[in-house]
A and B are shown apart, each in its own frame.
Chain A
Amino acid sequence: MSTPLLEMRNISIHFGGIKAVDNVSIDVMPGEVVGLLGHNGAGKSTLIKILSGAYKKDAGEIFVDGKKVEINSPIDARMHNIETIYQTLALSDNLDAASNLFLGREITTKFGLLDDTAMEAESRKIMARLNPNFQRFSEPVRSLSGGQRQSVAIARAVYFNARILIMDEPTAALGVHETAMVADLIKELKAQGLGIFLISHDTREMMELCDRVSVMKNGQLIGTERVEDVTEDDILSMIIMGKNPKRAA
């Protein structure tokens, strides 16, 4: 078996006395979508926040291309081409699309000043690919629809040549049409060889989009399965009962 694009090995973190993530290992191969499933509070979001640099792990190791890396801040994660699309979208509502897209990585002129026209031009290019209907470049993102905001968040991750993409409930706030658009995008990015961690509550969607799913409960990893080896019901019992009925049998 080849080296995973990204591997998180024996990761633990606790808040006060609570072990939010307890000795969990997951990995993703290039061109693979790995789903993370579990109830609210199972530790999925906490686990990926460690990967995106928002939280610092207490124990465990992270490997990119088989090489051990240290991720202590969002900037570290970006340096390793790990990009995250958060559940809350993490946009500054008062800024326009281009400002959000380039937040923390602005294009500047030779005098060190922000080059807004260049950033808007780049935003127009990437949006033409992701969401051709998007035209509202000069308005604060507050006034955009859920889908439009989502495409800004995705554009931000994709524009900077992400190799590993973390998507936390990317379709939670979206309508049917927009959800389909995100699904198509995930397939396209996968075809380009990105490794994607996908978090969702929608098991059917996960069965369709993912190659493998890892199920978590109470901070622990219940198991990782290839989707073709399991049924939706198997997944559900892993989520609810904390064990895979087939394996247990």
Chain B
Amino acid sequence: MSGGLGKLIKTLQIDTRLLGMIGAFVIIALVFHVATGGTFLTPRNLFTLTLQTASVAVMATGMVFVIVTRNIDLSIGSLLGIVGMIMGVIQVQILPDIVGFGSPSIWIITVLAGLLLGAAIGAFQGWLIGYLLIPSFIVTLGGLLIWRGGAWWVSKGTTISPLDPNFIMLGGATGTIGVTASWALAIVGSILTILFLINTRRKHISHGFAVKPMWAEYALGAILVGAICGVTAIMNAYMVPTRILQRRFESEGLEMPEGYTEAYGFPISVLIVLAVAIGMTIIAKKTRFGRYIFAMGGNPDAAELSGINTRLLTVKVFALMGALTAIAAVIASARLGSAGSSLGELDELRVIAAAVIGGTALAGGVGTIYGAILGALIMQALVSGMGMVGVDSPLQNMIVGGVLIIAVWIDIIYRRKTGDA
């Protein structure tokens, strides 16, 4: 990197890999914006893009931990399928008879059951890997076949719909929090970000460590708050179509006021992704569990000699992956409003690709949560952009495959240059 810019980036302590990924996303977005004649970078399309990315992004954060510990999970697409299907059965065929149709407890019980099931299946696979020492590739390849077959078996191949109306809100297509709540969230997020920056600086000073110059802190704070407000503004700029508003007023027996408008704001599914991203980042950076995951990935023997129970750790990592897959199953089935036996098909490959494009090294020990989420966003931008310009789906797959290989190749060169293995 050339002198001035490189120095600026170093002073701000911004990850160059993060910059590269944001750059890649911006280029993809601009190219498709031009190619589609100006429809890619519209609030409507960006809103849809985040909805489409949500379920893969949630799973990609878990896949980071799995790959960091030198494992792989090929079963998540099928796991998503069977968990989605069982949640469908619970909310449509079982709970309405017990708690009554439309009861708000339906979605809560359903989601809890799904989380439990996902974590249990994940833990079981983790036990086979950690304690019986069967390679994760084999265990989860078996899982891929077993859980997909199971999903079909639960419903005998039928699609379960319509799902519970409250549950469907979690998919984000109909569940959005509106303009006011979105801005409120943006303000809270901005304040927390600034407090975090201040706290970090204060802590470093109190221990006598070097700190960034004050202007760099201000610049970093401004960039972060700007990003939060920018995304919020985009979400709040996507207006609810007038006829949908009209229908809603009619259903409530009211007259829609002249010139009434309303925007969507953040979809609930995107908020779930945000919560997962923050939670997983805290786990990765600030908890023993996360530290041990990376220690084990870096050197399993060293981790064990330090008294870390790497077998139990493997079980926990796969259980967490299973729970995140259940969250993804909620988002995916709720967005579609139905649970079919092919739900989540090939998702394992999208998720692994997202994690790897996001800088997770298959050799283990290296990976970031934000990278995986950005990786998922880049992949989805590519796929939906190609769909918009009319690339047919076999060619889409070929291009995505090529991009994956090139991305990893660039990553290898980057690591060689920076000395990060």
Contacts and interface: CB of A to CB of B under 8 A. Distances in A.
A113 interface: yes
Interface stretch (B14-22, B132-140, B242-250, B293-301): B293-301
Contact of B295 (A84, A86, A95): A95
Contact of A117 (B207, B297, B421): B207
| Residue among B207, B296, B298 with the highest chain A CB neighbour number at 10 A | B298
Contacts of A17: none
Contacts of A121: 207-209
Interface string B297-332: 111011111111000000000000000000000000
A169 interface: no
Contact of A92 (B203, B209, B288, B294): B294
Interface stretch (A8-16, A72-80, A183-191, A238-246): A72-80
B416 interface: no
B307 A104 contact: yes
| Residue among A73, A75, A94, A142 with the highest chain B CB neighbour number at 10 A | A94
B287 interface: yes
Nearest to B207: A121
Given A104-B308, A113-B286, A90 B299 contact: yes
A93 interface: yes
Q: For the side of the interface on B, what is the size category?
A: 20 to 34
Given A78-B307, A92-B298, A114 B209 contact: no
A75 B208 CA distance: 33
A175 B308 CA distance: 32
Nearest to A104: B306
B219 to A, nearest CB: 20
B288 A114 contact: yes
B291 A120 contact: no
A84 B306 CA distance: 10
Interface in A98-112: 99-100, 103-104, 106, 108, 112
A171 B339 CA distance: 62
Contacts of B10: none
B377 interface: no
B324 to A, nearest CB: 21
Contact of B291 (A74, A99, A118): A99
B305 A52 contact: yes
Nearest to A75: B307
A90 B306 contact: yes
B160 interface: no
B24 to A, nearest CB: 24
A145 interface: no
B366 interface: yes
B287 A92 contact: no
B305 A91 contact: no
A142 B301 CA distance: 16
B306 A103 contact: yes
B365 A93 contact: yes
A35 B306 CA distance: 24
Given A74-B304, A74-B306, A106-B291, A94 B365 contact: yes
Contacts of B97: none
Contact of A95 (B208, B209, B294, B304): B294
B419 interface: yes
A106 B288 contact: yes
A117 B305 contact: no
22 contacts: A52-B305, A54-B304, A74-B307, A75-B307, A84-B305, A92-B294, A92-B302, A92-B303, A93-B299, A95-B291, A95-B298, A103-B303, A103-B306, A104-B306, A104-B307, A113-B286, A117-B203, A117-B204, A117-B207, A120-B207, A121-B208, A143-B419
Given A86-B305, A92-B295, A93-B299, 9 more contacts: A89-B302, A92-B299, A92-B303, A95-B295, A95-B298, A103-B303, A112-B287, A114-B285, A116-B286
Interface of A: 52, 54, 73-75, 78, 84, 86, 88-95, 99-100, 103-104, 106, 108, 112-114, 116-118, 120-121, 140, 142-143
| 7 A-B pairs with the lowest CB-CB distances in the bound complex, closest first | A92-B298, A104-B306, A94-B298, A94-B365, A90-B302, A75-B307, A113-B286
